Amino acid sequence: MTAPTRVTIIPQDTFCAVDGVGYTGITMTSVAPNVHAMQWYATHGEVEIKDPATGKIMRNNEITHLDDYQAVLDAYWEIRQAAEAFEAAQRSIDQVLEV
């Protein structure tokens, strides 16, 4: 896997997208509860921090690495690889049925 150029993580929605391909159902237990979203732009990013009491965005913190989100990315890649394998198997079945 190459380093992602674009990542979006939205813990409340259990959503993660990497380079335009997104899935829900991603485990977010490693993400701090005050994180509303994380956006990554190839070499830098930002984390939207929310007030736990109101849910309103208080500030954005700049980040320079994805280390704090590696567990989310690992879970994302497990789901993405399984989905891609399933899609490949379906295409194979469809090709056999078209004979």
Q: Is the pLDDT of residue 75 over 70?
A: yes
User: pLDDT tens digit string along 3-23?
Assistant: 789 999 999 999 999 999 999
Q: Is the pLDDT of residue 71 over 90?
A: yes
Question: Are residues 60 and 47 in contact, defined by beta-carbon separation less than 8 angstroms?
Answer: yes
The model's pTM: 0.85
Residue 41 in 3-state DSSP?
strand
Q: Is the pLDDT of residue 85 over 60?
A: yes
Split into its structural domains, the chain has a count of 1
Who's near 23: CB < 8 A, 6+ residues apart?
Answer: 15, 16, 17, 76, 79, 80, 83
In 3D, which of 30, 22, 24, 10 has the Cα closest to residue 70?
30
Evaluate whether residue 1 is within a structural domain. Answer: no
- Share of residues in the chain with pLDDT > 70 (%): 90
Full domain range(s) for residue 26 = 6-97
Evaluate whether residue 62 is within a structural domain. Answer: yes
Distance separating alpha carbons of residues 30 and 69, to the nearest angstrom? 8
Evaluate whether residue 81 is within a structural domain. Answer: yes
